[in-house]
Structure 1
Amino acid sequence: MTSSQLPPAFRHPYSFAPAYRKSVAYFSMEFAVDQALKVYSGGLGFLAGSHMKSAFDERQNLIGIGMLWKYGYYDQIRRTDNAMDVQFREKIYGFLQNTGVRFSIDIAGRPVWVEAYYLDPKHFNTVPMFFLTTDVAGNDTEARSITYRLYDADSALKVSQCMVLGLGGAKFLDQINYAPEVYHLNEAHALSAAFHLYQTLGSVEAVRDRMVFTTHTPEEAGNEKHDIGFLQRLGFFGGLPLERVRQIAGVDDSIFNHSLVALRLSRKANGVSKLHGEVSRRMWGSYAGICEITHVTNAQNHGYWADTQLDAARSASDSRTLAARKKAMKKPLFNLVADQVGKLFDPNILTIVWARRFAGYKRPDLLTQDGERFRRLMNNRDYPVQMIWAGKPYPFDEGAVRTFNHLYYLSHLYPRMAVLTGYELALSKALKDGADVWMNTPIVPREASGTSGMTAAMNGAINLSTNDGWICEFAKPNGPDQNAFIVPTPGDADFRNPDAHDREHLYRLLEEDILPMYYDRPEAWRALQLRSMADVNAYFTSARMAREYYERVY
Structure 2
Amino acid sequence: MKNTAYFCMEFGIDQMLKNYAGGLGYLAGSHFRSAYNLNLPLVGVSMLWSYGYYDQIRDKEGQMNVHYVRKYYEFLEDIDLKVSVNIYGSTVWVKVYKLNSDIFETCPIYFLTTDIPENYYLSRTISHKLYDGNNLTHIAQEIVLGVAGYKVMQKCENIDIYHINEAQSLPLGFKMIEEYGLDYVKNHLVFTTHTPVSAGNEVHDINLLNKMGFFSGVDITVAKKLGGAPFNLTVAALRMSKKANAVSKLHNETTNNMWDFIKDKCEITYITNAQDKNYWQDPIIRNAAKNYDYDKLRDRKRELKELLFEEVADQTGKILDPDIMTVVWARRFTEYKRPNLLLHDEDKLKKLLDDKKLQVIWAGKPHPNDTNSQITFNWIISKTRNLKGTAILTGYELKLSKMLKQGSDVWLNTPKRPNEASGTSGMSASMNASIHLSTLDGWHAEWAEMYPDNSYTIGDCKNIHDAYEANCMYNHFEIMSNIYDTEEWWNKACNCVNDIVKYFDSERMVKEYAEKMYI
One of 60, 78, 103 as aligned partner of 1:80:
60
Give the aligned partner of residue 224 of structure 1.
202
Question: Could you give the per-residue CA deviations for residues 101-135 of structure 1, whole angstroms, max 9, x where no partner exists?
Answer: 10110001100000111001111110011100000
TM-score norm. by structure 1 comes to 0.92
Note if 1:524 corresponds to 2:488: yes
Give the aligned partner of residue 9 of structure 1.
none
CA distance in 2, matches of 1:219, 1:250: 18
Give the aligned partner of residue 481 of structure 2.
515
SS in 2 for 1:387: strand
Give the aligned partner of residue 240 of structure 1.
218
Note if 1:539 corresponds to 2:517: no
CA distance in 1, matches of 2:199, 2:272: 22
Provide closer, same or farther for how the CA distance between residues 136 and 85 of structure 1 changes in structure 2, counting only shifts above 3 A.
same
CA distance in 2, matches of 1:142, 1:174: 27
Note if 1:114 corresponds to 2:94: yes
In the TM superposition, residue 367 of structure 1 has moved relative to its aligned partner by: 1.6
Runs of 5+ in structure 2 lacking a partner?
none
2:179 alignment partner AA = T
CA distance in 1, matches of 2:449, 2:224: 48
SS in 2 for 1:86: strand
SS in 1 for 2:241: coil
1:410 alignment partner AA = K
1:270 alignment partner AA = N
Give the aligned partner of residue 500 of structure 1.
467
In the TM superposition, residue 374 of structure 1 has moved relative to its aligned partner by: 1.6
In the TM superposition, residue 353 of structure 1 has moved relative to its aligned partner by: 0.4
Provide closer, same or farther for how the CA distance between residues 250 and 433 of structure 1 changes in structure 2, counting only shifts above 3 A.
closer
One of 389, 392, 397 as aligned partner of 1:424:
397
Provide closer, same or farther for how the CA distance between residues 319 and 410 of structure 1 changes in structure 2, counting only shifts above 3 A.
same
User: What is the count of residue pairs matched by the alignment?
Assistant: 518
SS in 1 for 2:484: helix
The residue correspondences of 1:216-365 to structure 2 (distance < 5 A) are 216-220=194-198, 222-247=200-225, 249=226, 251=228, 254-365=229-340
Question: Could you give the per-residue CA deviations for residues 492-534 of structure 1, whole angstroms, max 9, x where no partner exists?
Answer: xx34xx11111010011111x1110105xx1000011011112
Conservation of the 8 A alpha-carbon contact between 1:271 and 1:296: yes
SS in 2 for 1:388: strand
Conservation of the 8 A alpha-carbon contact between 1:477 and 1:486: no
The residue correspondences of 1:79-478 to structure 2 (distance < 5 A) are 79-176=59-156, 178-201=157-180, 203-220=181-198, 222-247=200-225, 249=226, 251=228, 254-381=229-356, 383=357, 385-475=358-448
2:13 alignment partner AA = V
CA distance in 1, matches of 2:35, 2:74: 24
In the TM superposition, residue 239 of structure 1 has moved relative to its aligned partner by: 2.7
CA distance in 2, matches of 1:505, 1:113: 55
Question: Could you give the per-residue CA deviations for residues 282-312 of structure 1, whole angstroms, max 9, x where no partner exists?
Answer: 1112210100000000001110000011101
CA distance in 2, matches of 1:181, 1:413: 58
Give the aligned partner of residue 487 of structure 1.
458
In the TM superposition, residue 250 of structure 1 has moved relative to its aligned partner by: 5.7
CA distance in 2, matches of 1:365, 1:220: 21
CA distance in 2, matches of 1:300, 1:132: 26
Runs of 5+ in structure 1 lacking a partner?
1-19
CA distance in 1, matches of 2:167, 2:450: 35
CA distance in 2, matches of 1:53, 1:533: 20
2:378 alignment partner AA = N
CA distance in 1, matches of 2:340, 2:116: 43
Conservation of the 8 A alpha-carbon contact between 2:175 and 2:217: no
State the Cα RMSD in Å.
Answer: 1.3
The residue correspondences of 1:38-77 to structure 2 (distance < 5 A) are 38-77=18-57
Which sits farther off after the overlay, 421-430 or 98-107? Answer: 98-107
In the TM superposition, residue 220 of structure 1 has moved relative to its aligned partner by: 4.7
In the TM superposition, residue 476 of structure 1 has moved relative to its aligned partner by: 5.1
1:515 alignment partner AA = S
User: Which stretches of structure 1, 4 residues or more, deviate above 6 A after TM superposition?
Assistant: none
In the TM superposition, residue 380 of structure 1 has moved relative to its aligned partner by: 1.2
SS in 2 for 1:475: helix
CA distance in 2, matches of 1:375, 1:477: 34
